[in-house]
A and B are shown apart, each in its own frame.
Chain A
Amino acid sequence: MADTPAPTEPKPIVPFKPVILAHIHEDGSHTLDHYEARGGYAVAREHVGTTDPASLVKLVDDSGLRGRGGAGFPTGKKWSFLAKGTGKPAYLAINGDESEPGTFKDRHILERDPHQLIEGALITCWAIQSHQAFIYLRGEFILGYERLDKAVREAKAKGYVGANAFGKGFDITVTVIRGAGAYICGEETGMLSSIEGGRGYPKIKPPFPAISGLFKCPTIVNNVETIANVTHIVKNGAAWHRQWGTEKSPGYKIFCLSGQVNKPGVYEVPLGITMDSFINDYGGGLRDGKKMKAVIPGGLSAPVLTPDMVAKCTMDYESLAGLGSMLGSGGVTVLNEDVDLVDSIFNTMRFYHHESCGQCTPCREGTGWLEKLAHRIAHGHGRQGDLDLLGDVCKNMRGRTICVLADAAAMPMQSYLQHFRGEFEKKLHDPGLDEKARTFRDEFTATAKQATREHKAPSVLEVGLGMDRT
């Protein structure tokens, strides 16, 4: 690939109309009648039981579809990694545990177009030769569960789901499981632990789920949006999917816009549009004519962007990675100039501390430390050296745990420290704190540090992190 000339002709702009969200605003879009009236289940009827499964995997691989759950791993590649000839059943596990703050796209698919997901699941099951699909929803999706459960029953009554699906002699069971409020079950192996009937503890990888997942059998884990995409790709072909997006991030994606903008909501747009155009043209710009202070581009765990970075950012996996952030699950949150970023990082750290499953010490303890330190700084009790301590804790959390929750907590903290260090320092030297208290605090910190250097006291971390003993 190295000899390919780098600059290529810009792609012709193909007008884009929403694909997955095309019908969600219509009345009764969640019913089987509505879905069949717009050609639903025709693709599954055509392909399940007849088309060569390997060709379907190749088609999805050619389309360049990337996982929409957060990691962005190519879906076709993942399917091709599925262990074959093990003598064990293969499973499909669909991740609808949409817990990443700022993300609410799966909610709309589940509540307003559940049949689209079921059709995608049927095609995927045939492509990977699995007889059972588990759809794991977060417990808070109450309407989503009701509608998906009803949709599965409707499809079962029609003979699309269950034994001998579409009369082609291939059995597909679709099982809907509800979670119960654990963020960690959005992590693929955590979700598998939960489906297996345990606490949602992530498992160490490798072996990856495609080799040994659910009940130690080969398992494909995909996001709800990814599976909903499969139907359209199989129907229209790989080239159709590639006409939008960039070379490495083809296609379109649902983005969730929240925060202080005029028109928050879900928008399905081609990948590669500029973030500026997304926020201003789709989201209607910032509310009340305020200026932008920061943007969280891919759910709460994505490193934060400054307005300068937003100006040169396009919405695809590579551009955001180049800016040190990530596209993640596509939850864009816009913060205006009035937001206190130290408060917001405290809120963020509280979230991760609450949601850490507690398996690995760096995460269980580290998220707690970050929360306490952020709380202390946000409330005007920060000490000299707290910012270095924050950076130090983050460094010691990343890459040392079973799953990436520790990284997800450390990344936003590091990016806030990198881009908005001034905000923290302003809080550290809080003018609201009276002179006496500030002097005492600084002396206390200096004494503790000196004592540590002379091995007269427990480590500075202990003194620094312990609640004030004054």
Chain B
Amino acid sequence: MGPGGQSGRGGPVLEVRRDYRCCDRFAGTATTARTSRRRMLKAAVFGPQDDLVGEVSGQKARRRPPTGLPAAGQLPRALTGIVHDVSPHVLVIGCGGSEQRIALTAGATAWRGGPVDPAGLQPGDQAVVRLDRSRRGVADRIWANIGRVTGVIVARDAHGLLIDEGKTKPRRLVRIPDGSAGRIQVRFPNLEPGFLIDVIGLKQSEALEARIPGTSQPVYPVDRLPTPPMVSGHAPTTIRGSATWHEPFEEPPGLLGVSYPALDPEAGCAEDPIGGGTAPRFARLPYLAIGSMLQIRNDCTDSACRLPVTGCAAIARLFNDRCVTCGTSPRGRIADLTLASFIALGGELERGCFNATVTMGR
């Protein structure tokens, strides 16, 4: 057992940390109100900034859909809940204290560790449902028990891998079943402490059962991160790279937001390196704060909307990977979206990422 893990009779036990807090995490309404106020105060100084700086030339700009805060009917909506009942035509899921009945059409598809028929979902599964854009009560796609672990391998033993997902999250246990081991090890050859991992799989009570590699493993361990390139002149306000999603933790369900890899270090985020060192970022992203607005576009589907920065992407900034969902993106993760916003922008959860363009206002 390596550092950070505790041996128990059943194998490694997650080391529960007490302090998960980020500098400004969207855990409560106080932070929400403060964030809204920031935008208002900024507008008081510089005027409302509805127009974000972006590329304005070329055909691509003309055919780009109108962008703004997500509005009803523009983007697909995600619904999260526990499956109460399922039949070939209706899915009943519990959201909080209420139940919601969702129609299943012939075109609906489902994922539960792999493609399954929607009727094959089990009561008790935690489902993420993408509703049809135009028909509110109709399911378009369902993911059951989907989970994702992105972080640094802390320890490895016969039971699995212990993963550190940053200081604001508890450590996670990842088990790699034999059936998926080959597929994962092709993309993650170094399953050793110190190396990064990003896997998607099925959530279980104690661990994540890895099924799909979320990306290709960077060749470097986290203590040997390559130096990011130097940038001269002004940092670009339109940046291309990979947009990923993360499992919600202390986030309100359904939040449309984005965790950003380059929050102002002076904000004192818990994710910042000890000693105040500069966190590495491979895409040279300008520093922003919680509440800053970003326009995020899925280059694969051309869906776009403005989203607020709701958290710090502590682990995402360690990756210099590319997304190859449609073409090859430049290196670096530029946005770590909440589950709902990833779905709203047309991402497929099991793919792990989409090629994205992030634009920020001056």
Mutual binders A and B: no
